[in-house]
Amino acid sequence: MQAAHIHERLSMQTPRILQLLPLGLALASTLLLNACSGEQQNEPAGGMPGAPAVTVMTVQPEPVPITAELPGRTTPYLVAELRPQVSGIVKERMFKEGSDVRAGQVLYRIDPATYQAAYDSARASLARADANLDVARQKAVRYADLVKIEAVSAQTNEEAQAAQKQAQADVGTAKAALDKARVDLDFTRVTSPIAGRIGRSTVTAGALVTANQEAALATVQQLDPIYVDVTQSSAKLLGMKRDLESGKLQRAAGNTVPVQLVLEDGSLYGAEGRLAFSEVTVDQATGSVTLRAVFPNPKGDLLPGMYVRARLTQGVNRAAMLVPHAAVSRTPSGEAQVMMVNSESKVEPRSVKAEQSIGDKWVVTEGLAAGDRVIVEGLQKVKPGAPVQAQEAGSAPASAATAK
């Protein structure tokens, strides 16, 4: 009975099912077409379905100045340590510590009493010697006439001539003694031999100083201009010379080498200096060569002993490649490398030599050739050997171009 009842119900619903069947087929076809269309829209442009899109930069050689940033310290242009040339008591200090002084300016005054007395005595001795010379000269002239008429003996005349010469020598000795007394008297005024800035004084008024003592009374330093002494390894210096000789590097314009200065706080010193000379010997302890640069210092911002870094332009590389920092990575061994897109649109790692940074880019001197495409964006999505969709940096995206 039940089977007959079920068969009867199916017979009654069959026409309705047949009526709904075309509608279901049409709906399934629509969904399938939409899915296929969506897959085509999501497929990346360029012809490799599923390949990630990356941004590349086509490198080209360009002239790049090669600079070296070297550590160094500032040193005075001229240094004068003041020491007394005579002994005595300091009567007065005639300068303000830390001030600028002129060449020839009196800085200390030593008690001149004893030296003034010695000068006066020497001057009196010279006057006495001059008087004795006058007497001896007149006697010598008179005896020279008398010996001609045999009024005096030849021996007496010779003694008169010798006495005159002795008197002349005494005058010379007296003049020398007077000159020395004058010099000693002048040395009681300690003057600055150079113009510059004077430091602290090691003595005060009332102190006893001795001639040519070991301790300096004060030190004067000329700070404008000022020297900057930096060191460079001899190996780097030899490599640069070889590159210049081979033509890989070219000398910068002019014979002078400009130098920029980076201060301790990282700021750039306002004035540019120039390389003065290079030491002729290599330090055996460090294997480095000292280079000396000269900088103007009109405001006194640079003080002796400051730690600085000097940037020297050592030449111009005419075939260097500039690559953004983000495109360069380091291998576990420390070598620099970039990811490139080869002719088959696949990722290829390439070891490069990047030792200098200019702004936000590395200067690559080895490992790249003109026309190479270096990945600059999208590195996190790629791996060596994988296909990619490359787009040149700065060009409009494919979707944007299609929309236009």
Torsion from C-alpha of 386, 392, 395, 400, nearest 10 degrees? -10
Cα-Cα end-to-end distance for the chain = 72
Residue-wise pLDDT tens digits, 219-257: 999 999 999 999 888 777 777 677 667 665 556 555 567
Residue 308 has pLDDT above 70, yes or no: yes
- Is the Cα torsion angle 380, 383, 386, 390 positive or negative in sign? positive
> How far apart are alpha carbons 91 and 374 in whole angstroms?
77
Would the pLDDT of 35 be above 60? Answer: no
The whole-number pLDDT of residue 151 equals 87
When the pLDDT of each residue in the chain is averaged and rounded to a whole number, the result is 83
pLDDT digits (tens, 9 = 90+) for 100-121: 999 999 999 999 999 999 999 9
Least confident of 24-28, 271-275, 365-369: 24-28
Q: Residue ranges of the domains in the chain?
A: 62-74+222-392, 82-221
Architecture per CATH, domain 82-221, reads as Beta Barrel (2.40)
Q: Return the number of other C-beta atoms located less than 10 Å from residue 202's C-beta.
A: 13
Q: What is the pLDDT of residues 320-330, one digit of tens each?
A: 888 999 899 98
- pTM listed for this prediction: 0.64
Same fold: 62-74+222-392 with 82-221? no
Contact 369, 337 (CB under 8 A): no
Rounded to whole angstroms, how far apart are CA atoms 318 and 95? 56
Angle made by CA atoms 185, 191, 192, in degrees to the nearest 5? 160
Percent of the chain whose predicted confidence (pLDDT) is above 70: 81
pLDDT interval class at 172 (50, 70, 90):
very high
Q: Does domain 62-74+222-392 have CATH number 3.90.1150.10?
A: no
* Closest by CA position to 324, among listed 376, 384, 392: 376
The confidence score (pLDDT) of residue 117 equals 96
Query: Residue 40: pLDDT band by 50, 70, 90 thresholds?
Result: very low
> What's the pLDDT band for 164 if we cut at 50, 70, 90?
very high
Q: What tens digit of pLDDT does each residue of 356-378 get?
A: 788 788 888 888 888 999 999 98
- Average confidence (pLDDT) over 256-267: 86
Higher pLDDT residue, 355 or 16? Answer: 355
Q: Average pLDDT, stretch 153-176?
A: 93
Q: Is the pLDDT of residue 44 over 60?
A: no
Which position has the higher pLDDT, 398 or 138? 138
